[in-house]
Amino acid sequence: MSSADLPFQLNERVSCSIAAAARYGIPANLMLAVAEKEAGTPGLWMKNTNGTSDVGPMQFNTAYLSALAQYGITSQAVAAPGCYAYDLAAWRLRQHLRLDQGDLWTRAANYHSRTPRYNIRYRLDLITRATHWATWLQHCAAKECLQAPTHRPEGTEPRTATGPAERPLAMPYYTPRMITPAPTP
């Protein structure tokens, strides 16, 4: 099965995330991990307790989007299907990686929150997800992609003998490698 055989929603998330990561020079597995963690869908508006909403596949907060309105960025565009939300997320993630303080994972988790208690939870989950995606990307580079990884908290689904092998968690100092396109023959 190739990535084209993935369910439509997942295929869009994977292909748009990889393209956006390449366009903005960020590690593909990190972008895929953020996209998986946000887990939004086109058209989705999630109401928050503070009166704001998280919008679209990359769950942009309406408070953040109001600051981007001066550039013509609308919540409707971010909520729409297609790669726009992923491109905007990759741009934002690149800004955090370049300009923020802290290790790579803290800066990447600033995509979600700069508040330490929320950042650390997001960061730890991001490390796990990025590790799974790095393995998947390496597998895809060597062979056909069989299935996209999914992160499941321990104990939520039993593993079977035919399921994916357990993978070790990344260490906090792990830095994902940059995925670059293979040279054309």
What CATH number does residue 21 fall under? Answer: 1.10.530
Decide if 37 contacts 126 (C-beta within 8 A): yes
Q: Which of 78-92, 116-130, 142-156 shows the lowest per-residue confidence on average (mean pLDDT)? A: 142-156
pTM of the predicted protein model:
0.74
How high is the pLDDT of residue 11?
A: 85
In a domain, 92, yes or no: yes
In a domain, 19, yes or no: yes
State the Cα–Cα distance between residues 102 and 18, nearest whole angstrom.
25
pLDDT in tens, 33-92: 999 999 999 999 999 999 999 999 999 999 999 988 899 999 999 999 999 999 999 999
Containing structural domain, residue 69? 3-142
Provide the domain count of the chain: 1
In a domain, 147, yes or no: no
